[in-house]
A and B are shown apart, each in its own frame.
Chain A
Amino acid sequence: MKVISLTEYKLMLPMLELVIFALGILLIDLIIPRDWKWLNAVGAFVGLFFAAVCVWQIQATLPGGAVGFSGALLVDHFAVFFWYLFLAAAGITVLMSERYLDLEDEHSGEYYALLLLSVVGMMCMAAGIDVVLIFIGLELMAISTYVLVGFLRRERRSNEAAIKYFLLGAFSSGIFAYGLSIFYGLAGSTNLQEIHRSILAQNPRHPVIVIALLTTMTGLFFKIAAVPFHQWAPDAYEGAPTSISGFMSVAVKAAAWAMLLRILIFALFPLRSVYVPIVVFVAIATMTLANFAALSQTNTKRLLAYSSIAHVGYMLLAFVAMGTSEPGSPAFSDGFKGILIYLLVYTFMNLGAFAVITSLRQRQVIGDELEDMAGLYHRAPVEAVLMLLFLLSLAGIPPAAGFLGKYYIFLSLVESRHYGLAALGVIYSLLGLYYYLKIANAMLIRESKETKPLFVSIGMRCAVGVTALATIVIGIYPEPFIQGVSRSLPTWAKPTAPTLRQ
């Protein structure tokens, strides 16, 4: 009988802490009166802060990586990077949510509890190297977000978004699980390192392996919302509470990417000759469809949903560069860095944009149409200028941080000699500029019907300020972030990572 040591518990302390806070919020919510509901938000924020402190403590004592729980949990720099990212995204979402929920007249503390639980699921996805843990993490995250998307029970659009997201999400999880079950059958183990070893010994074009790979990739593409499995994203983002749309577009997407990298790069890299052509096709289709669909949108949330699908297309390009070059070569490491930096930068700029849209929600105005953006500069100059910063960053204009992510992606493409794909990516980024500037045009130039200044709550000001600061700082002084990302390059050359265990 193997005993689980105390250090292994320390590895999952951040998750335990978040679970305790989530359950605590559920209980406390029952006893606090209606006027004191903001305490729930404070509780969630404190929980996220404590979890971040725990992660920091783990990071300080981390050698290369630490395995725990019979090889199910691998906490390395890759996992820690994503943990920080999820916690930051959730923290900013909490700041955005308080007043928004008040305006929507939804006071249930379950909102914050579900938010924390979904972060726990994401942390499992980023740190799991056992398919059981990854799958359970995925489902914990997904089920929490299904409920969060439908949180505005009286609003029809929210109901409908939740139904669509739930049906497609559950369907894709089922297909994904089917693929994983075949990989278990091939390897005799649910551990990704074991799967990696057994795949190495087999013919990558064996029909059973191809079926397993295709079903697994279908699940992964659904989760990152790549064309042709993207249709849930615009609907879910439009109907969901705006704060949750922001959260989904960054944290849920980053978690799906962490899972995709763990599975396709760490475990199934020997199959790259099979999956890279598919990824090339998916990347081109994703960029094309998303950019053209975004051109004609009149709803800002839907527009940003299509823009987020387009960004997935750019990241898939970097993935192609990785898949076609040898591990350790500059193209491979720049592609990997490109994806991680893109996700980091995207977290701040997109959450910032969603924060500004969330603040447009007022007593009588839903605020998610392009019309509602009109004349924002006269109503709330600071927010309008920062929104312009986020939009330019999304379009990839230096010195805003968005440029950095695009730079690494195109660099890796050039290094792996995919000049055609690089050119296509640049053309589509320029096309993207059009619909981002459409928002900017409405905001700065058009006259608004509404003239009174926009009321923006303190939490919202903090959220917009923090995201804007991060967007500028990462853009101007990227060195520490690039170094942090470089440390999380895949280390599967060593079959088992060193453990913290004594």
Chain B
Amino acid sequence: MVPISTLHYLIVAAALFVLGVVGVLTRRNLVVILMSIELILNAVNLNLVAFSRMWGNLHGQVFSIFITADAAAEAAAGLGILIAFFRNKETVNVDEIDLLKW
């Protein structure tokens, strides 16, 4: 049984990060894109907490609490904007957001 080291956490975090980035770039539903962004922020949190344990100080954990709060604020503002958009356009598909171009 291999003991779980910092590196294991970092690999999980990197996988989450890549999943999030791929999700943002490929999905067409606005709500799913929002969820993918949350995945990226969770990857950051995992990184920070793992490093915090590795170094034995609390900076990383404090940062991760701030990032959690920030993710909540971002989701609140984002969903508000999304609802305002949906009222006018009745869609959550990014391909139909095409009023502004070139």
Of all chain A residues, the one with the shortest Cβ separation from B33 is: A167
- Interface bits A177-203 vs B (CB < 8 Å: 1, else 0): 110111011001110000000000000
Other contacts beyond A181-B63, A185-B55: 5, CB < 8 A: A146-B81, A171-B24, A171-B40, A190-B60, A239-B100
**Chain B contacts of A185 at CB under 8 A?**
10, 47, 50-51, 54-55, 60
Top 3 A-B pairs ranked by shortest CB distance?
A174-B40, A185-B51, A181-B47
Name the interface residues of A118-167: CB closer than 8 Å to any CB of B: 131-132, 135-136, 139, 143, 146-147, 150, 153-154, 156-157, 159-164, 166-167
Choose among A131, A150, A167 the residue that contacts B84 (Cβ–Cβ < 8 A): A150
A370 contacts chain B at the CB level, 8 A cutoff: no
Give the CA-CA distance A236 to B39 in the complex, in Å.
Answer: 25
Of all chain A residues, the one with the shortest Cβ separation from B37 is: A170
A29 contacts chain B at the CB level, 8 A cutoff: no
A238 contacts chain B at the CB level, 8 A cutoff: yes
Known: A157-B99, A157-B100. A181 touches B44 (CB 8 A): yes
Q: How distant is B57 from chain A, measured CB to nearest CB, in Å?
A: 7
Known: A139-B74, A150-B84. A177 touches B67 (CB 8 A): yes
Give the CA-CA distance A177 to B30 in the complex, in Å.
Answer: 22
22 contacts between A and B (CB under 8 A): A135-B67, A135-B70, A143-B73, A150-B84, A154-B88, A157-B99, A160-B99, A163-B85, A164-B100, A166-B77, A166-B78, A167-B33, A170-B34, A174-B20, A174-B41, A175-B21, A175-B40, A178-B44, A180-B44, A184-B59, A185-B55, A239-B100
Of all chain B residues, the one with the shortest Cβ separation from A234 is: B100
Name the interface residues of B3-58: CB closer than 8 Å to any CB of A: 10, 17, 20-21, 24, 30, 33-34, 37, 40-41, 43-44, 47-48, 50-51, 54-55, 57
Q: How distant is B99 from chain A, measured CB to nearest CB, in Å?
A: 5
Give the CA-CA distance A164 to B59 in the complex, in Å.
Answer: 33
Known: A160-B85, A171-B24. A178 touches B43 (CB 8 A): yes
Number of residues from B at the complex interface, CB < 8 A: 45
Tell me whether A147 and B55 are in contact (CB under 8 A).
no
Of all chain A residues, the one with the shortest Cβ separation from B6 is: A185
Known: A139-B74, A184-B51. A190 touches B63 (CB 8 A): yes
Tell me whether A147 and B44 are in contact (CB under 8 A).
no
**Chain B contacts of A235 at CB under 8 A?**
100-101
Number of residues from A at the complex interface, CB < 8 A: 42
**Chain A contacts of B74 at CB under 8 A?**
139, 143, 170, 173
Give the CA-CA distance A296 to B101 in the complex, in Å.
Answer: 12
Tell me whether A135 and B78 are in contact (CB under 8 A).
no
Choose among B33, B81, B89 the residue that contacts A150 (Cβ–Cβ < 8 A): B81
**Chain B contacts of A175 at CB under 8 A?**
21, 40
From DSSP, what is the main secondary structure of chain A's interface residues? helix
Tell me whether A132 and B17 are in contact (CB under 8 A).
no
**Chain A contacts of B97 at CB under 8 A?**
160, 163-164
Known: A185-B47, A185-B54. A162 touches B73 (CB 8 A): no
Q: How distant is B86 from chain A, measured CB to nearest CB, in Å?
A: 9
Q: How distant is B59 from chain A, measured CB to nearest CB, in Å?
A: 5
Tell me whether B70 and A159 are in contact (CB under 8 A).
no
Q: How distant is A294 from chain B, measured CB to nearest CB, in Å?
A: 11
Give the CA-CA distance A164 to B43 in the complex, in Å.
Answer: 23
Q: How distant is A418 from chain B, measured CB to nearest CB, in Å?
A: 32
Tell me whether B73 and A174 are in contact (CB under 8 A).
no
Of all chain A residues, the one with the shortest Cβ separation from B47 is: A181
Give the CA-CA distance A420 to B24 in the complex, in Å.
Answer: 38
Tell me whether B43 and A132 are in contact (CB under 8 A).
no
Tell me whether A147 and B21 are in contact (CB under 8 A).
no
**Chain A contacts of B94 at CB under 8 A?**
167
Of all chain A residues, the one with the shortest Cβ separation from B49 is: A181
Give the CA-CA distance A95 to B47 in the complex, in Å.
Answer: 45
Give the CA-CA distance A293 to B41 in the complex, in Å.
Answer: 34
Name the interface residues of A259-306: CB closer than 8 Å to any CB of B: 293, 296
Give the CA-CA distance A154 to B87 in the complex, in Å.
Answer: 9
Of all chain A residues, the one with the shortest Cβ separation from B96 is: A160
B63, B67, B100: which has the most chain A beta carbons within 10 Å? Answer: B100
Tell me whether B66 and A136 are in contact (CB under 8 A).
yes
Of all chain A residues, the one with the shortest Cβ separation from B38 is: A174
Tell me whether A143 and B60 are in contact (CB under 8 A).
no
**Chain A contacts of B59 at CB under 8 A?**
132, 184, 188-190
**Chain B contacts of A157 at CB under 8 A?**
99-100
Of all chain A residues, the one with the shortest Cβ separation from B76 is: A143
A163, A181, A293: which has the most chain B beta carbons within 10 Å? Answer: A181
Give the CA-CA distance A177 to B44 in the complex, in Å.
Answer: 6
Of all chain B residues, the one with the shortest Cβ separation from A138 is: B70
Name the interface residues of A31-71: CB closer than 8 Å to any CB of B: none
Tell me whether B88 and A159 are in contact (CB under 8 A).
yes
Q: How distant is B31 from chain A, measured CB to nearest CB, in Å?
A: 11
Choose among B41, B63, B81 the residue that contacts A132 (Cβ–Cβ < 8 A): B63
Q: How distant is B8 from chain A, measured CB to nearest CB, in Å?
A: 14
**Chain B contacts of A296 at CB under 8 A?**
102
